[in-house]
Chain A
Amino acid sequence: MNEKNPASTYDIIKVNENEEKHTLSIIVDDEPGVLARVIGLFAARGFNIDSLTVSETESKNQLSRITLVTSGSPSVIEKIKVQVDRLVPVHRVSDLTAQYGQYGALERELALIKVKGTGNKRLEALRLAEAFDAQTVDASLDSFIFQITGRTREIDRFINLMSSVGLTEVSRTGVAALKRGADNT
């Protein structure tokens, strides 16, 4: 299609904004379909979900906390927040990354990592696990399952190393996060 006669009005403008990772903490009514509403919104509007964790909260009022890691330019992150906040069962949306910075919010993830191997590889896997403070939660003659908790990047690094010593399976929980200090998230 030439310059003069584009076939559509829908010009997509590429704005060169840097993509950022943001951790959102979303408090919702714990009712059927609420998760579908949130992820349906992300799918419909073309937003990214890097990680997602859902569980009950401390409250007795049947509330759930959805901790969601997303990535996008700052303006996209802003759009995501207002879109999610508009959903009827959403109580509040906190952008932990924007509000509290990289160190103001505590973010942890748990991973189970299965490693298969014998001999030296097996020994190396054990040593690495020790270095990363990973626990051995299952063992057989030719396999281990390690459990590691930590920041996402740390777990990424551990998994990366493990892949050269026989990693066969990974299961991660996704990020759980809270604001540091006495105030609520």
Chain B
Amino acid sequence: MGKNISGAEIVIQAIADQGVDVVFGYPGGAVLPIYDAIFQQEEVKHILVRHEQGAAHAAEGYARSTGKVGVLIVTSGPGATNAVTGLTDALLDSIPIVCISGQVPTHLIGTDAFQEADTVGITRACTKHNWLVKDIKDLPRIMHEAFYVARSGRPGPVLIDIPKDIQFAEGDYENLSKITHKTYTPPTSVDHKAVGKVIEMIQRSKNPILYTGGGVINSGPNASKLLKKFVETTNIPITSTLMGLGAYPGSGKNWLGMLGMHGTYEANMAMHDCDLMICLGARFDDRITGKIDQFSPNSKKVHIDIDATSINKNVDVDLAILADCHKFLVEALKIIKDRNIKNFPTYQKWWTQIDTWKTVNCLKYKANPDIIMPQYAIERLYELTKDKDTYITTEVGQHQMWAAQFYKFDEPNRWLTSGGLGTMGYGFPAANGVQVAFPESLVIDIAGDASILMNIQELSTAVQYRLNTKIFILNNSYMGMVRQWQQLLHGNRISESYSESLPDFVKLAEAYGATGILAKKPKDLDEAIIKMIETPGPVIMDCQVANLENCFPMIPSGKAHNDMLLGEDVSDEQVSNAIDDDGKIMV
């Protein structure tokens, strides 16, 4: 029998026993007992956000950068509903977070009480699992089961809804942090024979490609190390999804760049023409595959994933292995060693073909001496931060794609972005979450002028905790990606995507007690970036870039990998003519 403490104390004790030292949250009527418990202890630090969505993204940032489970605490009703976007984001990107929500007391549930919402009902579809705690006796078990479910198998968000009377009730607590769940048992081993078959397929292939995803990152830093070794041993070209960047070094020899809608020409062409595709911890998302019936038509496909529902979901594969990426790589390297395989094919012809594709230089853009090109801004940011201990988060849109294309990640867990859900407003709170976990590191949110306004209130959080989070806004006065699609698909009718009445970002920063920096000319860019890095505390850098630049290359909607739209296809003239005279007045 453990010690007798209140439900609120059980919550905090369980969080501490799970090795989580920071929680993000916002108090309210239905979580007052938990906040009282937080006040009276020192093991778990609480970071006060300014909006519950910010708490969820901060918890995601904490989780993705540390590999631990992120925790947020929100009150009932609006507190919980505000967290829903963050929970959904974590579900789509497989980020382990635990959301503790307050609920009205048990006897008031179902009466439409003040700040009552059917939180478990609302969040059923956006969590891996959720619980409504109706008996204090269940609380310790549920707390620990929740952490187990969040981090096991394919990680994801979970929610525990705790009525206020349960928080006050007293119960026995014992540390059950080693608990598993009686029915939720994801695969823990790997099929040796199947892995052997993959190795044989590689040996027989002429044009193989590795297509990796966020699963490798989720599998831990060791998976990334082994991936590097596996690529070195086999000499297979490698590309990755948005979520998987950093698992294999962006400066690595076999790296083709990101694939998919805004991926590189060489990566997409190689995906299309390969004869063997090994998909490791990715899920054949529509941004990756393009037109699905023309997706890599002549390849054998191998899919390694921890989650059975991802297999044969969008693309039918020839060989599926249900396993954790790290376990697969351990087994694969062991088989290569045991069988003493030294003579993997060199894929000479394949690499020559890839080098030809590389000469297209798909990421080239027209430099401009008077206007900062957004690509140039990311290139300079990369050059000036690559030797530092840097974490990059992004919002969603053109800036996100340019960051993915031009910032090279050599390590896992350094790149945090909202891939699956595409949540504008993710980057800044996520950056705060990273900065809380790594106070000494350089954490930069690459943002757009529209996205940053979605969770700008978190600047108050950054100022309060003296976080050094930097916001690097590629300000083009548009919801750039929306505008680009309107140009490409809707006759350039720029419907509601112009950022009218933008704030003065420098003054905005100052109003919050942070620092604002403005850069308008390419010649001032480096100095401004260095100033941003060197200024302590949160900084907003308003980097004003070319307004109408489009993000290329691009697989246009409904096209196949080998049907990419390259930047050079669209001349400046075409772009400028695409806007009529009335539109020009606004620019």
Contact = CB atoms under 8 A, between A and B. Distances in A.
B518 interface: no
A42 to B, nearest CB: 12
Contacts of B578: none
A88 B129 contact: yes
Contacts of A44: 125
Contacts of B531: none
B184, B313, B557 — which one has the most chain A CB atoms within 10 A of its CB?
B557
Contact of A7 (B293, B308, B311, B489): B489
12 contacts: A5-B489, A7-B557, A8-B557, A8-B558, A9-B261, A13-B292, A33-B132, A40-B125, A79-B309, A82-B309, A86-B308, A88-B149
Contact of B558 (A11, A78, A85, A89): A11
B124 interface: yes
Contacts of A9: 261, 286-287, 290-291, 557-558
B418 to A, nearest CB: 18
B470 interface: no
Interface in A17-35: 29, 32-33
A135 B307 CA distance: 49
A101 B113 CA distance: 51
Interface string A161-176: 0000000000000000
A88 B292 contact: no
Closest 5 A/B residue pairs (Cβ):
A6-B558, A88-B129, A82-B308, A9-B557, A88-B184
B251 interface: no
A85 B181 CA distance: 14
Nearest to A9: B557
B120 interface: yes
A40 B124 contact: yes
A108 interface: no
B184 A13 contact: no
Interface in B398-443: none
A16 to B, nearest CB: 13
A36 interface: yes
B121 interface: yes
B501 interface: no
Given A82-B309, A89-B183, A6 B129 contact: no
Interface of A: 5-11, 13, 29, 32-33, 36-37, 40, 44, 75, 78-79, 82-83, 85-91
A13, A36, A40, A88 — which one has the most chain B CB atoms within 10 A of its CB?
A88
Nearest to A28: B183
A36 B489 CA distance: 40
Contacts of B120: 33
Given A40-B125, A78-B312, 11 more contacts: A5-B489, A5-B556, A7-B489, A9-B286, A9-B290, A10-B286, A33-B132, A82-B308, A82-B309, A86-B307, A86-B309
B51 interface: no
A90 B316 CA distance: 26
Interface string B521-560: 0000000000000000000000000000000000011100
Contacts of B261: 9
Interface in B283-317: 286-287, 290-293, 307-309, 311-313, 316
A37 B261 CA distance: 34
A85 B308 contact: yes
A11 B292 contact: yes
B483 interface: no
Contacts of B293: 11, 13
A32 B132 contact: yes
A88 B128 contact: yes
B124 A33 contact: yes
A10 B287 CA distance: 10
A179 B120 CA distance: 35
Contacts of A11: 291-293, 558
Contacts of A75: 312, 316
Contacts of B124: 33, 36-37, 40
A176 to B, nearest CB: 23
B313 A88 contact: no
Interface string B551-579: 00000111000000000000000000000
A6 B313 CA distance: 23
Contacts of B181: 88
A65 B544 CA distance: 61
Contacts of B149: 88
Nearest to A36: B124
Contacts of A86: 307-309
A88 B183 contact: yes
A11 B307 CA distance: 24
B235 to A, nearest CB: 33
B455 to A, nearest CB: 27
Contact of A6 (B132, B184, B557): B557
Contacts of B129: 87-89
A149 B181 CA distance: 39
A36 B121 contact: yes
Interface string B167-209: 0000000000000010110000000000000000000000000
Contacts of B489: 5, 7
A36 to B, nearest CB: 6
Nearest to B130: A33
A14 to B, nearest CB: 10
Contacts of A40: 124-125
A43 B293 CA distance: 26
B125, B184, B558 — which one has the most chain A CB atoms within 10 A of its CB?
B558
B558 to A, nearest CB: 4
A40 B292 CA distance: 27
Contacts of A78: 312
B146 to A, nearest CB: 10
Contacts of A88: 128-129, 149, 181, 183-184
